[in-house]
Structure 1
Amino acid sequence: MTKAIVTTGEKSDGHYLKELVKKSKETGMVVNTVIGDTAYSGKENLQYAQAEEFQLISRLNPNISGETSHRKVEFEFSKDAGMYVCPAGHMAIRKARTGKKNQAANQAETYSFDIEKCKVCPMREGCYKEGAKSKTYSIRVKSTEHKEQIRLQETDEFKTLSKKRYKIEAKNSEIKNPHGYKTAKSVGLFGMEIQGAITIFAVNLKRILKLLND
């Protein structure tokens, strides 16, 4: 292990990719590929990977890639009208682009429906919330980076490399269980940093000795 960052539990791992890569490079590591979970596939990280010319093997959040949907009711898109149509057959009356350009979060296409029709629609359950003053349906607009990552996810190379992630989880398990990092030995973040540094040193030393004996 070449770099570790200790944070409080509510922090997202993905926010620290840049620092981890930068510090790893300072140790002399050549970074060609980074393998991580979905926490690392944010738009800023994809842009950073492209700028630094390394491959980021991190599957997109299903809400962005469109692999799954939590909506109770699905709408269909009419190519001729350029609008979405609800399951009851009512077409959106207008659309607008929401969100700011060039931000970490993607923009969305928001389609508005005639609320008066929604109030009396026989299929309103699970679609229209009683008392709502408007009814909209939003589709996240995929950025260029996300579209490229979706394409990458379908390649054999991505699928092969992503299967190696178990090695990371195995190392995490080794640190937490046999070496006791699962339980804090002192109070506070600084204490966990010291405990982490000692634990990682011990684990790295074991790995070095094993490689020398192989």
Structure 2
Amino acid sequence: MSRKVVFKTYNQYQLSLLPPRYDDLVPVNHPVRIVNTIIDHVDISALEKSYKGGGTSSYHPRMLLKVIIYAYLRNLYSSRKIEQALHENIHFMWLSGQSKPDHNTINDFRGKRLQGHLKKIFHQVVLLLVEQGIISLKDIYIDGTKIESNANRYTFVWGKSIKTSKERIKKQLKALWSYVEKVYKDEQHIPNTPDFEAIDAAKVEATINQINNALQGKEIDKKIKQKLNYAKKNWPTNMAKYQNQEAILKERNSYSKTDPDATFMRMKDDHMQNGQLKPAYNIQASTNNQYLTNYTLAQTTADTTTLKDHLNNHIENYNEKPETLTADAGYGSEENYTDLEDKNITAFVKYNYFHKEQQDKKKGKMNPFHPDQLHYNKETDTYFCPMGQTMTNIGSYKKKTTNGFEQELHRYQAQNCKGCPLRTRCHKSKTNRIIERNYNLIRLKSQAKTLLTSEQGVAKRKQRCWDVEAVFGNIKQNMNFKRFMLRGIDKVNIEIGLIAMAHNLKKYSLTI
């Protein structure tokens, strides 16, 4: 016996006595309510003051800020898709109060209005989380990740290429002048030699004119004449172009023509899995309990030179310094250790070869020829090689890093390595072995090693992996943010701030 099928009432044209409110359609603990509540509690008076009076009315910046942050929380990064959501998505309609700004208004607010304001708003949100006891600013974990810029990866400028081109012009100018000297070899009067050092566009043009004037009225080779005409037409222009490119590069070695602020970096997560060079930014992040507490942008590939500025930015924004800081070996340099020591911050920062050193120690494979393993007599200031030969101090010198940090190195040399049976294993120098020792760095590394191998240090190293790296995993995989939408470092700074805020509020919504 078959049973009668009963369907629920379906009448899309059914009238309601009282139309439903949008507020009734949004669940109590929905993330959109979290965004709404948090942004209602932040001070945006500085942002409001940036608007000029007169003309037509403007959409309220608080509403636009809520909409954009919630869009990023929902993995919507395109201004057109945000505009579409404001017409179709009940949560966006509720959040915006049924305001419907177009994509140009959204993009203008995101890319221009928020400049100089978003970072302060972000820190206010972080402080709200601190007040609730969810995170702490006393204990931070730092790491960096690279995110591709919104730039053409095939339109690039390389610093080495500029240098090569300038050297080629310089070499060809010298060759042309050599021809002038050859023409005047039988004459008593020889034109003054131009200055070929530190050439620029003006000097190149002046040198070409000097060569032309020197050869005026002389019978010259046809190829030389053609080369001079080409040089006069192209070389000053090319030199001016190289000067402009070097001004954009500054200390970098490359940039993209479509986003000059982006630097070419090797990307680990490239779909080809071959470490392709792409225009990108190096994002430096501080975290606590998997919440982002601070972020900065770097245009350099290495993390080493970014820690000092990133830490200073944290102190400047929160008016306090962290008590402990944990980072991987990418930050372990003498300059960073010194800066952390000066700030009286307990630093659980690994140095190069820390893990290898620990593994070799466990396996009993310590290299007896490494300078760290050589015996040192502090009273006589001498080292002893594995054969027991004295290595005396032959002087010291100072050098500066790319950041301008000064290091002092001491040099020690063995007296006679000739005929030593261990020489091939000890060193490959053709002369007697020389070692260099940086005593300040040795001291700082010893302190770092003591901290890292302590019970607290082991716990910190373990926590760093799931604290800061989990944040990057969430941003790149769950939020699918692997490429910026905007161009230029100022706009990219806004976008990573929106991502950081969206990450924090999304995580917060899952805890309540």
- When normalised by structure 1's length, the TM-score is 0.70
Structure 1 regions of 5+ residues with no counterpart? Answer: none
* Aligned: 1:135 with 2:433: yes
Q: How do 1:1-214 residues align onto structure 2 when only pairs under 5 Å count?
A: 1-10=292-301, 12-25=302-315, 26-27=317-318, 31-62=322-353, 73-74=369-370, 76-77=374-375, 79=377, 83-87=382-386, 89=387, 91-92=389-390, 94-100=392-398, 104=405, 107-114=408-415, 117-129=416-428, 132-143=430-441, 144-166=443-465, 167-185=467-485, 189=489, 192-211=492-511, 213=512
Residue 32 of structure 1, CA deviation = 2.2
CA contact (8 A) 2:395 2:411 kept: yes
2: distance between equivalents of 1:33 and 1:90?
Answer: 42
| Aligned Cα root-mean-square deviation (Å) | 3.8
- C-alpha change, 1:170 and 1:100, in structure 2 (3 Å) is same
User: Match of 1:180, as an amino acid?
Assistant: N
Amino acid at match of 1:24: H
> Which string of whole-angstrom CA distances, capped at 9 and with x for unpartnered residues, describes residues 170-196 of structure 1?
111111222233334466545643442
Distance across 2 between alignment mates of 1:155 and 1:45? 21
Partner residue, 2:48: none
1:24 Cα deviation from its structure 2 partner = 3.1
When normalised by structure 2's length, the TM-score is: 0.34
CA contact (8 A) 1:119 1:128 kept: no
- The one of the two structures with greater contact order (alpha-carbon pairs below 8 A, sep at least 6) is 2
Report the Cα offset of residue 139 of structure 1: 3.6
Unpaired runs of 5+ residues, structure 2, are 1-291
Out of 161-170 and 135-144, give the one that drifted further.
135-144
Q: Distance in 1 between matches of 2:417 and 2:503?
A: 61
Is the Cα contact below 8 Å between 1:98 and 1:109 reproduced in 2? yes
Q: Percent identity?
A: 18
Q: Distance in 2 between matches of 1:145 and 1:73?
A: 22
Distance 1:17 1:78 in 2: 33
Whichever structure has more helix as a proportion of its residues is 2
Work out the number of aligned pairs and report it. 205
1:150-207 CA-partner distances (Å, limit 9, x unpaired): 3323322222222210211111111122223333446654564344233222212202
Q: CA 1:110 to 1:190, structure 2 compared with 1: closer, same or farther past 3 Å?
A: same
Task: For 1:151, give the aligned amino acid.
Answer: T
